[in-house]
Amino acid sequence: MRADRRGRRGTARRPLGRLARRLLGATLAAVAGVAVLAPAPAANADSPLRVHAEEQGFEIGAALAVNHLNNDSQYRAIAAREFNAATPENEMKWDTTEPSRGNFQFGPADQFMDFAQANDMTVRGHTLVWHSQLPPWVEDGNWTQSELRTVMYDHIDAVAGRYRGEIAYWDVANEIFLEDGSWRPSVFYNTLGSGFVADALRRTAQADPNAELWLNDYNIEGINAKSNAYYELAQDLLAQGVPLDGIGIQGHLINGQLPSGIQQNIQRFADLGLKVAITELDVRIQMPADQSELAQQARDYTTVMNACLAVDGCVAVTVWGVSDQYSWVPDVFQGYGAPLLYNSNYQAKPAYDAVHTALGGDDGGGPTDPPPGSCAVTYNVANQWNSGFTGTVSFTHNGTSPLSGWELEFDFPNGQRVTSGWSGQWAQSGSTVTVSNAAWNGTVAAGGTVSLGFNGSHTGTNNEPTSFSLNGQECTVS
């Protein structure tokens, strides 16, 4: 069993909120003596996701919308049964909570909190400072630095202060960089400069001292210019003593097109002493979705889950919704859909089985990931000299349906390093090497073989790797 991941400041908390306090008060008033909470049931193979997650000190969450909780009983039941963490989709965003200056509206957020607390869910507050979903009075104000800083502080004080002690994590600043790693223009950056992030983190720490403070963004799953910008910012903030606890990697992904190096990227943030979470996971499919695409989606979910679970500092995976019925994807990405664990009829998809299996449960018998041994790998040292060598790797896909996108992973046993590679995108973090498909060889037919090669360095001992995995599944080695 993996070590419990919850809490550099302590365990991930589900504090007593308004509803829980009312229920506890009523119970204590009615019952004499000592009330003892029964322990959570032990997981068996077909237990809900949250039971398996709890056994590992892990959080499996969902973004939830109060409107659907109030009006859709199936949505509500699945949310309560399957997830031990929750993020409000829109209920805590600025345009909802403060539509006009000083006019705070907490009705939807309060309802969200009541549901989460009644169902023993850890809450991620989302989000305090963001360039989007701002009311016009904020975005279009002709602010001085002093005025806008006051506006930002007043908002943080009111929202974070209202739920003080009830939120485990706050997404304090959201989506602050562009794809090239430069600062995103916004009313906050344009007026206050890059220091608005540190200001917001410090102010949130005052408003809700026990909450963990996070930054959050999309397209930072792999190692790229944007994730590098977050890595450098995190280093700078920590060096300045600014309170920062975690990096949220959103994970809005395309089926069969996962970026390489997800685990390595998570690991480098964890190595800074930060927590990491996949905060908004969905894997969109070009519609209509057929069974092979759903199977590929399941493999992609497995890859992301395994990347997080492999790093002790990765504490949670949250999917961005409960079912395909209410997903944001079709409205934003034309021609795409079906990104979540349940379809529009609330039937569990192969992606659900993949997540269930990754957490230690049974796969439900669905067409999810290929079993161990459905890929075969051959590794050879083709040439070796002094401190260098050339290696070749080939894998055969023995599954029954084609692969659409692949990632091969292995560990060097003696400190070897890849210096260059071909026929794939190569990355290395520590001893772990990851190679993902190039643009031209991402589709592999059932029974198909892919051959790769690289140049490497060694320090005198050059033993071969002994285990390989393809899309998160163990391969046989010959």
Domain extents in the chain = 47-358, 375-477
Q: What confidence score (pLDDT) does residue 362 get? A: 65
Q: Are 261 and 221 in contact (CB under 8 A)?
A: no
**pLDDT of 252 higher than 90:** yes
1 bridge partner residues: none
- For the record, the structure tokens of 213 come out as 């403070």
Q: Are 104 and 110 in contact (CB under 8 A)?
A: no
Better pLDDT: 444 or 283: 283
Q: What confidence score (pLDDT) does residue 101 get? A: 98
pLDDT band at 399 (very low <50, low <70, confident <90, very high): confident
At the top level of CATH, which class does the domain 47-358 belong to? alpha beta
Nearest CA-CA partner of 470 in 441, 438, 434: 434
How many CB atoms within 10 Å of residue 429? 16
Model confidence over 283-340: pLDDT tens digits? Answer: 999 999 999 999 999 999 999 999 999 999 999 999 999 999 999 999 999 999 999 9
pLDDT band at 72 (very low <50, low <70, confident <90, very high): very high
Q: What confidence score (pLDDT) does residue 31 get? A: 34
Q: What confidence score (pLDDT) does residue 407 get? A: 86
Report residue 408: phi and psi, to 5°.
-105, 135
| Annotation says 232 is catalytic | no
**pLDDT of 248 higher than 80:** yes
Q: Are 431 and 366 in contact (CB under 8 A)?
A: no
**pLDDT of 6 higher than 80:** no
Q: Are 407 and 232 in contact (CB under 8 A)?
A: no
pLDDT band at 206 (very low <50, low <70, confident <90, very high): very high
Least confident range from 7-11, 39-43, 157-161, 244-248: namely 7-11
* CATH 2.60.40.290 is the classification of domain 375-477: yes
**pLDDT of 30 higher than 50:** no
Average pLDDT of every residue of the chain:
89
Alpha-carbon distance of 393 to 380, in angstroms, equals: 7
pLDDT band at 406 (very low <50, low <70, confident <90, very high): confident
Better pLDDT: 278 or 453: 278
Q: Are 161 and 210 in contact (CB under 8 A)?
A: no
Model confidence pTM above 0.75: no
Residue with tokens 């031990």: 84
Q: What confidence score (pLDDT) does residue 348 get? A: 95
**pLDDT of 382 higher than 80:** yes
| DSSP code, position 365 | T
**pLDDT of 190 higher than 50:** yes
Alpha-carbon distance of 357 to 364, in angstroms, equals: 9
Tell me: cis bond preceding 443? Omega within 30 of 0 counts: no
Least confident range from 6-20, 90-104, 230-244, 277-291: namely 6-20
Alpha-carbon distance of 104 to 68, in angstroms, equals: 23
Least confident range from 41-45, 212-216, 255-259: namely 41-45
Nearest CA-CA partner of 250 in 61, 14, 32: 61
For residues 40-61, give the mean pLDDT: 84
Q: Are 301 and 354 in contact (CB under 8 A)?
A: yes
3-state DSSP assignment of residue 408: strand
- For the record, the structure tokens of 429 come out as 């973090």
Model confidence over 357-378: pLDDT tens digits? Answer: 999 876 544 333 444 457 899 9
**pLDDT of 20 higher than 50:** no
Burial class from Cβ neighbours inside 10 Å (0-12, 13-18, 19+) for residue 447 reads: exposed
Tell me: cis bond preceding 99? Omega within 30 of 0 counts: no
Q: What is the share, in percent, of the chain residues with pLDDT greater than 90?
A: 73
| DSSP code, position 324 | G
Q: Are 52 and 43 in contact (CB under 8 A)?
A: yes
Q: Are 251 and 87 in contact (CB under 8 A)?
A: no
Alpha-carbon distance of 134 to 184, in angstroms, equals: 15
**pLDDT of 8 higher than 80:** no
Q: Are 61 and 87 in contact (CB under 8 A)?
A: yes
Q: Are 454 and 390 in contact (CB under 8 A)?
A: yes
**pLDDT of 117 higher than 60:** yes
Nearest CA-CA partner of 350 in 328, 365, 334, 371: 365
Q: What confidence score (pLDDT) does residue 14 get? A: 46
Q: Are 280 and 251 in contact (CB under 8 A)?
A: yes
- For the record, the structure tokens of 194 come out as 């890059």
- The 3-state DSSP composition of the chain as helix, strand, coil percent (nearest 5) reads 30, 25, 40
Q: What confidence score (pLDDT) does residue 370 get? A: 44
Task: Check 280, 293, 407, 409 and give the catalytic one.
Answer: 280
Report residue 3: phi and psi, to 5°.
-65, 150
Q: Are 325 and 22 in contact (CB under 8 A)?
A: no
pLDDT band at 398 (very low <50, low <70, confident <90, very high): confident
Model confidence over 412-439: pLDDT tens digits? Answer: 999 999 998 888 888 888 888 989 887 7
Strands (E), 142-203: 169-174
